[in-house]
A and B are shown apart, each in its own frame.
Chain A
Amino acid sequence: MSDTKKIVVVGGGMVAHRFVEAMRDRDTDGQYSVTVLAEEPRAPYDRVALTSYFTHKDPDALALGDPSLWEDELVTLERDALVESIDREAHSVTDRYGREHGYDHLVLATGSYAWSPPVEGSDLPGVFVYRTVDDVAELRRYVEDRSKGLGRPVRGAVIGGGLLGLEAAGALQELGATSTVIQFADRLMNLQVDEGGGQALTRLIEKLGVTVKCNTATTAIKPGKDGSAGSLEFADGGSQLVDVVVFATGVRPRDELGRTAGLDMGERGGVVVDDTCLTADPDVSAIGEVACIQGSCIGLIAPGNTMAEIAVDRLLGGDSTFPGADTSAKLKLLGVDVASFGDAFAKTPGALELTYADPVAGVYKKLVVTDDARTLLGGILVGDASAYASLRPLVGSEVGGDPAGWLLPEGSVERPNVELPDEAGVCSCNNVSAGAIRGAVTEHGCTDLAGVKACTKAGTSCGSCLPLVKKIVGTELEKSGIEISNALCEHFDMSRAQLFSAIQVSELRTFSEIIERFGTGRGCDLCKPAIGSILASLYNEHVLAQDRAALQDTNDRVMANMQKDGTYSVVPRVPGGEILPEHLILIGQIAQDFGLYTKITGGQRIDMFGARLEQLPSIWKRLVDAGMESGHAYGKSLRTVKSCVGSTWCRYGVQDSVGMAIALELRYRGLRSPHKLKLGVSGCARECAEARGKDVGVIATDAGWNVYVGGNGGFTPKHAVLLVEDVDDETVFKVIDRYLMYYIRTADRLQRTAPWQEEHEGGLEAIREVILEDSLGICADLDEHMARHIDTYEDEWKAVLNDPERLAQFTSFVNAPDQPDPSLAYVEQRGQRRPATQDERDSGAVLIAPSTLEVRS
């Protein structure tokens, strides 16, 4: 490894991350080691999503890519290691602690800093910029403290009405402050949108309660009585009272290192590089916002990532060059869609502009096309940017048909169906072309969106191109003759969601009626359990009612979990993990009497293994008599609600998490769903219950509860995402009622909540609209359905114990009910028994046969 060359990357932002990721991805021979010297005390994070830090409050949620990248032996990440000088002759840089780092190749990725104009008072307490996690954290703290001190909403002002300014205004609103945007230019986002777009944007933003002042120059920030920011003064003589001011007046390249190292500087700053990202020194590259490429510095992530890829390619002997910056952008600011792409201002000679404006709905759209109206050059979309993903890659290609189809509201006119050229860029974050996505299907055998995402990285950063990726994948699959079928199985052409509504509307209650009406044949192991589950979700009748026993998997059929040797495990419900000593004793007694192996489950209850089919009723009789009930550990249904001990005992707890967990578990017990459901409740932000790894996680705050949705452990772990914040108990129940019921009605067979909400049209945002704003008008129905579930719950095991006919199913052999399965054999391990392995059976090791076990019941 002695000939491994050393790369030093100065700067630890998103572009540095992309550089390291791409290098480790492509440098398969280990030619280079990479050391990243980051100024911030943390690994690179998603700065574009900075505002989400307000909602999530978790810096980890902003993590970029796979954290194991930093554990690679060829990668070193030095945090808090601001570089102070470069010695190009000695090939070495020196950090703030005086440590020298030698390099074979140096990459400058120092990014930008938030620039604020030299306004009087810009150094007062209460004046902030908006660039790093620390900036946001400080702003947050200040606003929270200030609002406590003032006893009224904090007055916020943002100077700068660009992209970052609107983000900051949104962040202030999130914090409960009022916000005013002060814009020097004549409209908001003047770099991205034209006058018409600016007007539409102003109307939409004002509707959200943000005040907008354009054509306004701020001349001074005056201190209030306590010496912190108190009012703004404007050039036109006006003024405004403020408590907090955020500067969002643009960024400037962090080029001081390059400057002192004697590298060429651009006219407006930035280290000058050629199209291969090299500076005049062949051993020094610059990438991202600090690089002045083709005459300018570009403050967008997509071109920065492209530069990182080019620098890596060049170091590995490739010949790629910078294609020119794609300055397209699609944003959701305060919930308002804004997109701008290509030649948005129609600077191309002879360009035509097609506009559509609906001031009432707050929509403004413009397409820029060539003088023959055939080729798309660019566009602006405000208020409804749904066409962005399809249009941006079309820049430079024929629009096909009537371009007006793209301007009118979706659905009113058919949009031209255009086949993208292979070279059209689809995912600009990761520079993935339409051709690469097609290749993932045709050459790499991907058959679904998830596969294509993993294969090409398309849509894995901002996700705005996902609808288009999905469409291309669908078209390509169709062409390859692979049918994308939603059919449940050969007996039903419908998807689970379609079948759910069909059954609901038709009010059919038995499998034979349902298959006769909606399917063909006699069913199978795929459609039967799915319909059994739908019927249980709809009517909450017993899983074994009517002809339903035969629909269920063995687990639901005998209400226990089958293990590898054909015996079952038994799990009584322990709501919230809170258990009476007498129930603990009873479980121990039963396990002893029946010779069952006991283990604590991950869901805070106790599992007893090795019970034979015919033993289940006598075990359950004892549990039910003592007041315990089925834990549904066997069902595609609510499993457990895990909790920490909460404020009743814990020094740190702020809410009664156990009480909440018990209430939730009793509310949703027995609820059948497309897949298992797990919930968690934590009593404070320390999150000891690991609630964000659950389908629904409830985490206590000082003011109430935050509800997170769509998490899971398992094969592809996912953190749940915030749905509502600081709500009271009643709202927790209402929101979860609707979320679960909506999931149950619309998910695919065996689809957990995380992929469901990811693949739901419009994602979690759309789900939020359905369940919080009632966008589909179904909330009353969802509420009523859940109320019916809660009212009609009965313990499944208790019901079976009272029914001799159902008890007859719990028989070992129809012609020898007193004989246990003779094939069972156990050995002892750590004081308990476990199934014997084949070797142990063959070698005649000391086996415990089941028939010798004494059963007292």
Chain B
Amino acid sequence: MTSLQELMGSAFLPVWTLVKILVIVVPLILCVAYLTLAERKVIGYMQLRIGPNRVGPLGLFQPFADTLKLLVKEIIIPAGSSRFLFVLAPVLSIAPALVAWAVIPFSPGLVLANVNAGLLFIMAITSMGVYGVIIAGWASNSKYAFLGSLRSAAQIVSYEIAMGFALVGVLMAAGSLNLVDIVNGQKGGILYWYWLPLLPMFIVYFIAAVAETNRAPFDVAEGESEIVAGFHVEYSGMAFAVFFLAEYANMILVSTLAVIMFLGGWAAPFNVVPFTYLPPLFWLVSKVACVLFMFLWLRATFPRYRYDQIMRLGWKVFIPVTLVWLVVIGAIMQTRFGYLVH
């Protein structure tokens, strides 16, 4: 390492950071690819089918076949569209989904940027993802796409408030915006994780996360039975695939955040020997996988929400619930039972 550092001189830091970014992004893209396969398999089994099983053993090469197919397809740009924005929209939706990983800690010490205001940074970056959807809908110059983007904009802005309040609860319990500190605040096993003292917020966060990522049953932005494919109806080939990639990368991101903030991050569920032998990364990944499975399960189980009911749930149920629980936590912290929420 040090000899490498001497060899490259001042170019060492940028190159080394670039290597670290690649080490995060490449597995992430692979995870996204296999999440699409997992989704088709899981939903298949839930509906008594076997899902894709032709390409490779057990259908394991299906994601690569899909990618190849989308890569060779033509990207059609509609004649009346705003050309530059039409191409920019997929980029704007994938970029925040990748940038947010910069501050996510994977295990103790394994984080690209351990910034103080990590939680705030993630909220700011993920709130920019909606621009991809809005711009795609507007630039397509299509009624369906436009309807989809308007629905998505209203939905994401509404649920972001509830999600933000849920995160405020976490930062009150942890006393820090730093994600590493938040995980360290949950040491001591499954009963010390924040899901217990912040149970209403955990539920609100999870459901709001499903809504933020435009996943079923909140997928009115796509709503294929109502508005064809919503905001990406005019996209084809790799431009469409990038939207897809962004959706799944966002799913993994919000699941990882849920694990870090409410489910103890990389901590083992029980502080006894067989559990503590396993590496921290294993616990983080397996918890994220469980949360992701919940996403797929929800999609296979529930029919799509009606639009006005989505708005009602967000504004009239979630925001009051989180506000009340914030007051409850604040009050408990002032009593001698304050240790319960820390």
| A and B found bound together | no
Which A residues form the contact surface with B (CB < 8 A)?
none
Residues of B within 8 A of A (CB): none
